[in-house]
């Protein structure tokens, strides 16, 4: 459990709060590229960490993420005219560029330089893999981290976004909790092949702090003197990397489930996935069918996630369709902000505890004037082969780290051999490993 104070500290992310200050030190998803698909298209409203913003793509394709309310008298720039390299307010025509400069105040006298004294809120952005990331922190912004999923060709990656109606931490903790796989996502019919979750419902958990966050390892006993090892990663401050959407023993990418606070009781969940070697097939992104054009899930708390009690007896553990909705039901039904002073943690919550500890110590570092972990400032350290995930069957006699020797505890030892090692593993897979 957490004290009430620590629970509040981790849950509150508005400007000026300790956790809000921490998250603002990192690049985080702000919206999808498809929300502002073309130069001079309609702007998009963006709610992020309690701030009301608007995003637009200007005539030259540059992206602006600026305060929603006009610096003049507050009209929403969402309704503005996106034209000639700027967003123009519909009330009195003030015009802003992507950096928040006021380009024009046409209702003022022609010789007025009033506009030059103004600077509207504007945040840096970076577009990669169908996602527009933003940095909301102080001026000395870090490098955009070259995560592997931001570097692959666009046709090898996919992304969905949907609203989660609770605090971000509830969603994020779900990604760090391998034990729920054996229950929440369990099929009770035999139509789907999930023997590996079923055989051993009480895995052995290991966690280790790394330079990027926490590596999480759940090891289950499997048939034929094997271990079923699931390795996932919490990447600070809001990314949960999981071996989702991949058959066992496949190392061709993974998924990154990201929980970005809109405010303290609403969260955008971004599910990013990528393949290292091939294009994504449309039918792989099954989640899209669960999400409406407004990024709201069709199954939600107001319709009890369309739970089917008969299906719960015969098909799956929840009676609810799709992992996305299982996760939402489990985490939203805790309430908007769960009071963690009331919980009872067990051995299976080891990874959740490790992630909270990491976040609390990062907040403390920032409060004490030290730079928190995983803020990237050096180009030579801006690559992350050791952020990896897999679900793998290994002989019990072999420790997983022997097999995946590029996964060192800290980032200090990383080197280009890491990728070479991984391709060796991929070829061993195609040579007939168990699935
Ligand atoms: S309120 Fe926007 S120009 Fe006046
Ligand atoms: Fe889940």
Pocket of ligand 1 (CB under 6 A): 70, 72-75, 89, 91-94
Residue 58: CB atoms within 10 Å: 20
The answer to whether the CB of 26 falls within 8 A of the CB of 20 is no
Nearest protein Cα to ligand 1, atom 4: 92
Rounded to whole angstroms, the Cα distance separating 24 from 29 reads 12
Residue nearest to atom 3 of ligand 1 (CA): 92
Q: Is residue 345 within 8 Å of residue 339, measured between CB atoms?
A: no
What rounded mean pLDDT belongs to the chain? 91
What tens digit of pLDDT does each residue of 119-177 get? Answer: 999 999 999 999 999 999 999 999 999 999 999 999 999 999 999 999 999 999 999 98
What is the 85 CA–ligand 1 centroid distance (Å)? 18
The pLDDT score that the predictor gives to residue 423 is: 56
* Atom of ligand 1 lying closest to residue 74 CA: 1
pLDDT at 201: 74
Residue extents of the structural domains in the chain: 27-135, 148-422
The pLDDT assigned to 89 comes to: 98
- Centre of ligand 2 from the C-alpha of residue 205, in Å: 17
pLDDT digits (tens, 9 = 90+) for 39-90: 999 999 999 999 999 999 999 999 999 999 999 999 999 999 999 999 999 9
Superfamily of domain 148-422: Naphthalene 1,2-dioxygenase Alpha Subunit; Chain A, domain 1 (3.90.380.10)
* pLDDT score recorded for residue 432: 31
- 82-102 as b/e, with b when 16 or more CB fall inside 10 Å? beebbbbbebeebbbbbebeb
User: Rounded to whole angstroms, what are the CA distances from 4 to 10, 16, 139, 172, 238?
Assistant: 10, 19, 32, 19, 21
C-beta separation of 337 from 264 below 8 A: yes
Tell me the angle at which helices 4-11 and 350-367 cross, rounded to the nearest 10 degrees.
80
Q: Measure Cα distances from 208 to 46, 215, 376 in Å.
A: 35, 5, 20
Between the CA of 194 and the centroid of ligand 1 the distance, in Å, is 58
Phi/psi for 282 (5° steps) reads: -55, -40
Q: What is the mean pLDDT of each run of 10 residues along the chain (435 residues)?
A: 96 98 98 98 98 98 98 98 98 98 93 89 98 97 96 96 98 92 85 62 88 93 91 97 84 94 98 94 90 97 98 95 97 98 94 97 98 94 90 92 80 51 50 30
Residue whose Cα lies nearest atom 1 of ligand 1: it is 73
H or E segment to which residue 269 belongs:
strand 266-274
Cα dihedral 71, 77, 79, 82 sign: positive
CA 58 to chain centre: 26
DSSP structure string for 94-163? -EE-TT-BEEE-TTS-TT--GGGG-B--B--EEEETTEEEEE-S-SSPPPPP--GGGTS-GGGEEEEEEE
How many C-beta atoms surround the C-beta of residue 387 within 10 A? 24
* Region 27-135: CATH code: 2.102.10.10
Q: How many residues does the chain have?
A: 435
Cα–ligand 1 centroid distance for 117 (angstroms): 16
């Amino acid at each position: 459990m957490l004290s009430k104070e620590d629970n509040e500290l981790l849950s509150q992310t508005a400007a000026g709060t300790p956790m809000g200050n921490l998250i603002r030190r990192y690049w985080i998803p702000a919206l999808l590229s498809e929300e502002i698909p073309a130069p001079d298209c309609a702007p998009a409203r963006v709610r992020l960490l309690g701030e009301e913003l608007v995003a637009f793509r200007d005539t030259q394709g540059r992206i602006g993420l600026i305060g929603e309310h006009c610096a003049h008298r507050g009209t929403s720039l969402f309704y503005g005219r996106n034209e000639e390299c700027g967003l123009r307010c519909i009330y009195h025509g003030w015009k802003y560029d992507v950096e928040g400069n006021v380009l024009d105040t046409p209702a003022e006298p022609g010789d007025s330089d009033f506009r030059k004294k103004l600077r509207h809120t504007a945040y840096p952005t970076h577009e990669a893999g169908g996602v527009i990331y933003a940095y909301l922190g102080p001026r000395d912004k870090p490098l955009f981290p070259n995560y592997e999923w931001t570097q692959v060709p666009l046709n090898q990656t996919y992304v969905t976004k949907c609203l989660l109606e609770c605090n971000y931490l509830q969603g994020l903790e779900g990604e760090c909790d391998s034990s729920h796989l054996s229950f929440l996502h369990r099929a009770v019919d035999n139509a789907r092949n999930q023997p590996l979750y079923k055989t051993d419902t009480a895995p052995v958990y290991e966690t280790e702090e790394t330079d990027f966050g926490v590596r999480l390892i759940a090891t289950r006993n499997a048939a034929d003197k094997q271990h079923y090892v699931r390795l996932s990663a919490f990447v600070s401050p809001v990314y949960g990397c999981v071996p989702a959407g991949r058959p066992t023993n496949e190392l061709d990418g993974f998924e990154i489930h990201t929980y970005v606070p809109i405010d303290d009781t609403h969260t955008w969940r971004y599910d990013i996935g990528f393949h290292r070697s091939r294009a994504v097939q449309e039918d792989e992104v099954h989640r899209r069918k669960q999400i409406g054009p407004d990024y709201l899930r069709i199954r939600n708390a107001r319709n009890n996630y369309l739970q089917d009690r008969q299906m719960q007896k015969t098909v799956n553990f929840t009676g609810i369709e799709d992992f996305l909705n299982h996760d939402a039901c489990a985490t939203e039904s805790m309430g908007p902000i769960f009071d963690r002073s009331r919980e009872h943690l067990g051995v299976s919550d080891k990874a959740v505890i490790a992630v909270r500890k990491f976040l609390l110590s990062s907040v403390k570092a920032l409060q004490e004037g030290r730079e928190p972990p995983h803020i990237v400032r050096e180009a030579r350290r801006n690559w992350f082969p050791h952020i990896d995930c897999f679900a793998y069957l290994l002989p019990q006699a072999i420790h997983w780290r022997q097999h995946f020797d590029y996964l060192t505890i800290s980032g200090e030892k990383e080197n280009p051999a890491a990728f070479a090692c991984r391709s060796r593993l991929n070829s061993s897979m195609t040579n007939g490993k168990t699935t």
